[in-house]
Structure 1
Amino acid sequence: TDKIRDTEDRSLQNLSRTKEYNSPESLSSPHSSSDNNANQNNKTLANHVAAYFNKKFNSHMIAIEMGYNLSDACQRYRNSERINLFWGIITGQIEEMVYHHQMKSISQLLQHLIKMKKLFSTQQEPLSTRARRAIVSEPNSPLSVIANRRLSALSLFSVKEHQESTVLHNEFVMTNEQFFESLKLFYSNKTSLQIDELFQSAKHDLQYSNELIEFSLLFMEDDETRFGEFLSTLIKQINQEKSSYVEQIKQILLGYPLITVSQFCRAIYMTDPNINQNELHRYIEWVFSIKNFHSSQQIKPLDLEDLLRRLENCACFKH
């Protein structure tokens, strides 16, 4: 709600600047478009929600009231993991990339299952596990191209979309064995217990009623956008793996009351040697609450407990 209240003040302060942007001189400037894009990209979710309320209701007072209603609703339904995630992001307590990482993980799994379905459908004779892994991991193979083309038209399915789509009914079906093998291929670093947990949650969603798995059903949301058991289990495992990742970093940093950026980077590299520079910089920017990190910056050390709390609310994972 503070963001909503501040929106009008910022709009008034920027009124003369807006006139400058709309003048012929500014439109001809080579920097005006990129500057506007940069400002747009720097907006937080709270900024976007505030702007949306102001635009939709065309009343600053109603926008403020809707902000309070939003806060009240999120508190009332705080038992919902997805609502808690939304509220954490909008209040700046959780990195927005946490949500995007979850959605990307779901999308990648769906893409993999589509590829595997195509592979199982076209193979003339049994292939070894190694051969299957080589085929489905090749992004430019014909199978991958077909799967990506199909995936581009799909999001999380609604019940209505599924009922009306013969494609989803007829094409996205595997045997139990094929589905289990597909999970093992995609999640080669998961334990057998984790794979079995995913498999059993899929059977739970499908009510254990069939020897075939219609895997499109596993990616549906209900009318209140809630996930089924399968996707909920997947997200739970993602969170567990992140907790394990953070715990490894914690063990390296124990004994240091204040953590510098260099100490933090060293702990990350020891835990996750394959992380790239962009990802590492994203971690630093979130954990130390800075923007546009570069190595020459002077950044205050962070208390270990504060650092771990920030890291737990970051989209961090082993690469």
Structure 2
Amino acid sequence: MMRWRLAVLFLTLLASTTGDDTTTKASVSTTTKKGTDGPHLTTDDEGFLTVIQGFATQLQCVLNTCSKDVIWYKDGSQISKGSQFLNTTSEKAYKIQHSIEVDYEKGCSGECDDSKPCGDGFSCVDNQCCSCRREEFTLVLRNLTFDESGRYRCQLGNKSELLEFQVEVLESGLKGGFHENISYDHSECCQEKGISPLCRGMCKPSEMDQHHFDPTSCKTDDYKHFLSCATEDGTRSHVHCCKTQLVPSFCYDFCSGDFQMLRRSHRLCLYYLPEIFSCLDRAYRMLSNEKGGVSSARGGAGGAAHLSAFMIDKPVRG
């Protein structure tokens, strides 16, 4: 049964790509014509997203001004208004990535505070109402489960201005929370090397379920730069550890700093992330101890001690 599930997911992931480093773009519904001056919503995300259980994804929604009337819906039911969730919405499953960009060239005027907010098109900055250039209401879906599958809509009040997304959550076969005992943190190095925000979850796995992370969207350079960080610029190899954890040989590319090219066969390496991350973590802890840094994190010495906590069922071999 597990082998059948892996095969189905593998074929689905292949169908979602047109090449090793490309993904299929889907149209996002919006009723505002380009070039209009009125309030309108935009996004850089795909309209149809196939995402992996246990990870996180995001649905970007940006308004070209400011408004408290931007609303998120799931399957027709309202889940938020502005940057606030309704009381019935689980904040363990969702969060709003909210930010405002002020247009200082247009100036600020009038007074404002919590009891006297600014009107639409303005934001309160230092108790003055300042003109807005843009406001972001991106919805982050965290620690994905099958319950998060469905149709999402970002809409400006009761107007016809809206964005629509279809989200399908695929079974991963990974044990939930497998990333929680991984202590390594290469986030600073990853940022310096310009790794895509889509892929930075692997730079600090302990927060993987909180941020947008889609390993199937990571490009060759993302993996090359990450593994450079994780192998001290290629001076350390984790292949021996991966062998002892029964990681298949076609996934050894993720265990060393000699990563060359993302291949279709690498899609199946998703199921061996717990073992690969564990090997990277064990070396990180040992190096940290050598440098007098952090001790073996979260109970016990050595990364392998935690491996049983996040082992997953593998395809039947033979």
Establish whether TM, by shorter chain, passes 0.5: no
TM-score range, shorter chain: under 0.3
Answer with 1 or 2: which has the greater Rg. 1
Structure-1-length-normalised TM-score: 0.25
Higher relative contact order (CA 8 A, sep 6+): 2
Structure-2-length-normalised TM-score: 0.25
Structure with the higher fraction of residues in strand conformation: 2
Structure with the higher fraction of residues in helix conformation: 1
